[in-house]
Amino acid sequence: MATKVAVVTGSNKGIGFAIVRGLCKRFDGDVYLTSRDLNRGQNAVAELNKEGLRPKYHQLDITDPKSIEKFRDYLKENYGGIDILVNNAAIAFKVNAPDPIAVQAEQTLFVNYYSVLSTCEILFPILRNGARVINISSSCGHLSKIKSEKLRNRLKDPNLTIEGLSSMMQEYIDAAKQGTHAGDWGNSCYVVSKVAVTALTMVQQRMLADRDIKVNAVHPGYVDTDMTSHKGVLTIDEGAVAPLYIALDAPDSVKGQYVWKDKRIISWEGKLVDKD
């Protein structure tokens, strides 16, 4: 029987690192810590080795299709498929970043949406039956964060396709370049990117309806990481709780859902009560 395998993107630090730690403790198979930077990744593996944990390592830059394809070929040759895929890699500009919104929008959507999509398109064909995909979203990824009702209706349309979603994200980037984005989309490109990730989750689950694969979006909580400028109130291990639950413990009936930090399934389209 083939060895099971779990993959966590962008996992040399922060929530991704904690998810690898949790998987190493409980997952019955090999766990891959991945990172864009080889040295940082290997250092992260060494840290977990000190805890008696044995993650595997592979370099992976989700912004480079050739890097993803190289990793796919490696996994296919050595394992035959993937059992758990955690799409964690992401970026966020700081509040006081000097970059113009046009640059922030294009770069944030490139990494947080288009590169996640590319990763999925390349790796999904080798997902095994029974596989679980966890797309790390955010409280910012709730549909209510988008100002325009028209846009919200398009995003939650049950007939929305990946092509249509990608087209909407390009509309946002174009609007940001023209300075006309705020009225409809709001002022945060991070919000738009994470709403896109949650919407992508719903579309992907519909596309995989005829296979035994579960795709869910997870808000890990406001975690003390570099991304939050260490203002988060949760530890990275607390931030890994909900992703690990969806990866390892959630019933098979949980699919195409927006899951909160405390493991609750939240209505993506309904009123958002919790703020973090």
pLDDT of residue 228: 81
Does the active-site annotation cover 74?
A: no
CATH of the domain at 74: 3.40.50.720
93 has a pLDDT exceeding 60: yes
User: Has residue 129 been placed in a domain?
Assistant: yes
Tens of pLDDT, residue by residue over 115-141, are: 999 999 999 999 999 999 999 999 999
User: Has residue 175 been placed in a domain?
Assistant: no
User: Has residue 164 been placed in a domain?
Assistant: no
Domain span holding position 199: 5-94+112-139+193-266
User: Has residue 38 been placed in a domain?
Assistant: yes
- Give the closest residue to 107 by CA, choosing from 88, 87, 93, 122: 93
pTM for this one? 0.97
CB-neighbour burial class of residue 202 (10 A; exposed 0-12, middle 13-18, buried 19+):
buried
pLDDT of residue 270: 86
Section 209-219 average pLDDT: 96
Q: What is the CA radius of gyration of the chain?
A: 18
User: Has residue 118 been placed in a domain?
Assistant: yes
- Greatest CA span in the chain, whole angstroms? 55
CA distance 127 to 264: 26
User: Has residue 61 been placed in a domain?
Assistant: yes
Among 32, 114, 172, 190, which one carries the catalytic annotation? 190
User: Has residue 105 been placed in a domain?
Assistant: no
User: Has residue 126 been placed in a domain?
Assistant: yes
Structural domains in the chain (count): 1
Residue 96 pLDDT level (bands cut at 50, 70, 90): confident
Q: What does residue 97 show for φ and ψ, rounded to 5 degrees?
A: -60, 135
